[in-house]
Amino acid sequence: MSEDVEQTLRQHGFQVTAQRIAILRALSSHPHATADELAADVRASIGSISRQAVYDTLGLMVDKGLIRRIQPSGFTARYEDRVNDNHHHLICRSCDSLVDIDCATGDTPCLSAGDDHGFVIDEAEVIYWGYCPACRGKAAPAKPGSSPKSSTT
């Protein structure tokens, strides 16, 4: 299994180092982890790693499309290794839990924006906000001034 990770690294043009292997493995066991959480996980397996190495590696991997970085409003950056598989994220406003969600609409649904302003669009990132089963009852904090925010789409 360590070989798989090594393979992946080489295929994407990375030098193979203990740190990178550890980061990648940490990521696959902790999807949606923050840089610090990954660092902690890596330290548990490797002994130690510098913060800089973590940020450098994650940054490079994101650039090469090996992993994905997400950063919803109010959260610090999170990373995941599910990539190129057409999924989105669903976040509970109350307890901050974050789950993956597959897009119902086929292959490139949301890519059809109205007027694209001349941009070449290569990705549509969707974040669904709401309340998870556990918080659904207890929370529902009836936003006072505003209408129930029906179709922010």
Partner DNA sequence: ACCAATTCTGGACTTAGTCAAGTATTTGCC
Partner DNA sequence: GGCAAATACTTGACTAAGTCCAGAATTGGT
Question: By C-beta, is 65 or 109 nearer to DNA?
Answer: 65
Q: Which stretch binds its own copies (CB under 8 A): 16-24, 38-46, 49-57, 80-88?
A: 80-88
47 scored as a contact of its own copies (CB under 8 A) = no
Question: What are the residues binding DNA (CB under 7 A)?
Answer: 10, 14-20, 34-36, 48-53, 55-57, 59-60, 71, 76-77
Region at 114 (left for phi over 0; alpha for psi -120 to 50; beta for the rest): alpha
120 binds, among its own copies, DNA, none (CB under 5 to 8 A by kind): its own copies
20 binds, among its own copies, DNA, none (CB under 5 to 8 A by kind): DNA
For residue 59, give the 3-state DSSP assignment: helix
Of residues 6-35, those binding its own copies (CB under 8 A): 11-13
Q: How far is the CB of 142 from its own copies (least distance, A)?
A: 11
Tell me which of 16, 29, 36, 64 binds its own copies, using CB under 8 A.
64
Which of 20, 57, 22 lies closest to 40 in space, CA to CA? 22
d(CA 81, CA 90): 17
52 binds, among its own copies, DNA, none (CB under 5 to 8 A by kind): DNA
99 scored as a contact of its own copies (CB under 8 A) = yes
Contacts 24+ apart (CB under 8 A), 87-91: 88/125, 88/126, 88/127, 88/128, 89/126, 89/127, 89/128, 90/127, 90/128, 90/130, 91/127, 91/128, 91/129, 91/130
For residue 17, give the 3-state DSSP assignment: coil
- Kindly list the residues in this chain that would bind its own copies in the complex (CB under 8 A): 11-13, 63-66, 69-74, 77, 84, 86-88, 90, 92, 99, 101-105, 107-133, 136, 143-153
